[in-house]
């Protein structure tokens, strides 16, 4: 028997089946929407069934359901916090777990592509910082992680929830005593076709394409460096042209993605949108910080939510607190503001029409004009006039006068 995808909603593209095949009979190939799926070469397949056995849709590894330990806060090193998407929690966790003889796996942006890779020196952690908003190509990461574990090394493996589940399926009975899994709270992965069309547009207009994208850039927003509420999209061009910097709410990517028009089919039926998690640690932005824990707002520099799902995860995070500012939070309260941990994204009824336009000869500008929505006055007011920072400011005034 070999892996067969009869329903694309039941394949998250984790690549475990391709890596488990010792005969190299399975390759990952893009479909017309740009998402990667396994394809079997029948001339190489021996019908061993390993690919089906390792598929999380056939045999999901057990989820962690014990009482959670939740911590909110941010890295004490301002520069680490500035270089991170939110509060720098991943760096603090890596520093605390990886003392010696370690390997760290994560998603690394290389141009428009995102690839999973590993480092053996924490000074290279910068490669894994920042949100990528693209499904990473796993390559041989599961196979490499297994090899390192057998050598007795500590392995920190970070990825999306489905990638963590795939790793656990792949490892099987391999000892995981030295493994720490860290998942990012995910809200679905978009089609890479959109960014490619964006690249084509820039090449036509400026003669050079995209070298890199920082989807949540905080370097120069309203003349303020490192402000979490003023994140922008920053595109580095190939060559010497100055980078393109645009407010995130005026970037059509955000409108189209947040309206769930171009997510992978499996994301609409995600199996990981519950309080029960598969990783030792779950990481996300500390959404709602200005409402239930404004003392962790930290001057609008970004703050992280850390959910420990295992004893191992909690022990690492408790050690990481030595280089972080923050405190324990109630899980139920934090969960209120983390919709990806409570419910699946809804499938936009116009998704099929949008994807047809994306695959057609329609230009980048025409697609955005048809499908992207401009930010409402209400949104702009909430973000830039009466935003989180004002609410936190008055909260501080009120508490100071008590």
Tokens of 192: 């890479």
Beta pairing, strands 113-119 & 102-110: antiparallel
pLDDT of residue 387: 62
For 26, phi then psi, to 5°, come to -115, 130
d(CA 168, CA 61): 7
Point out which residues pair with 180 in neighbouring strands: 156
Cα dist from 140 to 46, 51, 145, 147, 217, whole Å: 21, 15, 9, 11, 30
For residues 3 and 184, the model is more confident at: 184
pLDDT of residue 221: 47
Average pLDDT, the chain: 91
User: Mean pLDDT throughout 281-310?
Assistant: 92
pTM (predicted TM-score): 0.93
d(CA 163, CA 341): 16
What is the strand order of the sheet 232-237 is part of?
210-217, 232-237, 244-247
147 SS3 class: helix
Q: Where residue 219 falls among pLDDT bands split at 50, 70, 90?
A: confident
pLDDT of residue 230: 76
Helix, strand and coil percent figures for the chain, each rounded to 5:
40, 20, 40
Span 345-363, pLDDT tens digits:
999 999 999 999 999 999 9
pLDDT at residue 222 tops 60:
no
Point out which residues pair with 214 in neighbouring strands: 234
User: Mean pLDDT throughout 257-267?
Assistant: 97
Q: Where residue 226 falls among pLDDT bands split at 50, 70, 90?
A: low
Span 89-123, pLDDT tens digits:
999 999 999 999 999 999 999 999 999 999 999 99
User: Mean pLDDT throughout 366-380?
Assistant: 90
Span 17-66, pLDDT tens digits:
999 999 999 999 999 999 999 999 999 999 999 999 999 999 999 999 88
Q: Where residue 400 falls among pLDDT bands split at 50, 70, 90?
A: low
| Terminal-to-terminal C-alpha distance of the chain | 70
Span 240-249, pLDDT tens digits:
889 998 888 8
Residues 6 or more apart whose Cβ sits within 8 Å of residue 90: 84, 125, 128, 129, 158, 182, 283, 304
Lowest-confidence segment of 137-141, 227-231, 298-302 by average pLDDT? 227-231
Tokens of 74: 């941010």
Lowest-confidence segment of 36-40, 42-46, 201-205, 381-385 by average pLDDT? 381-385
Cα dist from 277 to 31, 183, 272, 274, whole Å: 29, 9, 7, 7
pLDDT of residue 398: 61
Q: Where residue 392 falls among pLDDT bands split at 50, 70, 90?
A: low
Q: Where residue 296 falls among pLDDT bands split at 50, 70, 90?
A: very high
d(CA 238, CA 243): 9
Span 315-333, pLDDT tens digits:
999 999 999 999 999 999 9
Nearest Cα residue to 141 out of 112, 173, 108: 108
User: Mean pLDDT throughout 364-385?
Assistant: 87
d(CA 179, CA 182): 10
For 160, phi then psi, to 5°, come to -75, 165
pLDDT of residue 386: 62
pLDDT at residue 223 tops 60:
no
d(CA 148, CA 295): 41
d(CA 168, CA 278): 9
Q: Where residue 344 falls among pLDDT bands split at 50, 70, 90?
A: very high
- Element containing residue 244 per DSSP (H, E): strand 244-247
Total residue length of the chain: 402
User: Mean pLDDT throughout 217-225?
Assistant: 59
């Amino acid at each position: 028997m070999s892996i067969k995808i009869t329903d694309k909603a039941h394949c998250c593209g984790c690549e475990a089946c391709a890596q488990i095949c010792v005969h190299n009979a399975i390759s990952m190939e893009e479909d017309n929407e740009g998402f990667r799926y396994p394809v079997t070469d029948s001339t190489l397949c021996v019908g061993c069934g390993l690919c089906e056995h390792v598929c999380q849709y056939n045999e999901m590894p057990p989820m962690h359901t014990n009482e959670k330990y939740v911590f909110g806060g941010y890295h004490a090193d301002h520069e680490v916090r500035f270089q991170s998407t939110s509060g720098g929690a991943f760096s603090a966790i890596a520093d605390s777990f990886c003392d010696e003889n370690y390997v760290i796996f994560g998603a690394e942006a290389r141009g428009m592509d995102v690839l999973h890779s590993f480092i053996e020196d924490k000074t290279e952690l910068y490669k894994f910082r920042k949100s990528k908003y693209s499904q990473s190509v796993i390559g041989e990461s599961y196979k490499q992680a297994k090899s390192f574990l057998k050598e007795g090394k500590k392995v920190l493996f970070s990825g999306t929830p489905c990638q963590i589940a795939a790793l656990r399926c792949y490892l099987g009975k391999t000892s995981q005593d030295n493994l720490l899994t860290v998942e990012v709270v995910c809200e679905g992965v978009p089609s890479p076709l959109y960014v490619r069309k964006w690249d084509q547009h820039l090449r036509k207009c400026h003669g050079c394409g995209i070298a890199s994208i920082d989807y949540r850039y905080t370097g120069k927003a309203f003349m303020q460096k490192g402000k979490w509420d003023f994140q922008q999209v920053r595109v580095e061009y190939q060559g010497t042209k100055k980078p393109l910097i645009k407010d995130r709410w005026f970037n059509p990517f955000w409108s189209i993605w947040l309206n769930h028009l171009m997510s992978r089919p499996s994301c609409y039926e995600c199996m990981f949108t519950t309080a029960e998690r598969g990783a030792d640690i779950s990481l996300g932005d500390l959404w709602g910080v200005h409402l239930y824990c404004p003392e962790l707002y930290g001057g609008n520099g970004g703050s992280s939510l850390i959910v420990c799902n295992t004893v191992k995860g909690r022990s690492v995070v408790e050690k990481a607190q030595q280089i972080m500012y923050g405190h324990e939070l109630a899980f139920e309260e934090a969960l209120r503001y983390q919709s990806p941990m409570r419910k699946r994204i809804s499938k936009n009824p116009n998704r099929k029409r949008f994807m047809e336009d994306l695959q057609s000869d329609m230009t980048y500008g025409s697609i955005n004009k048809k499908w992207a929505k401009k930010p409402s006055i209400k949104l702009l007011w909430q973000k830039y006039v009466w935003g989180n920072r004002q609410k936190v400011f008055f909260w501080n005034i009120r508490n100071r006068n008590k």
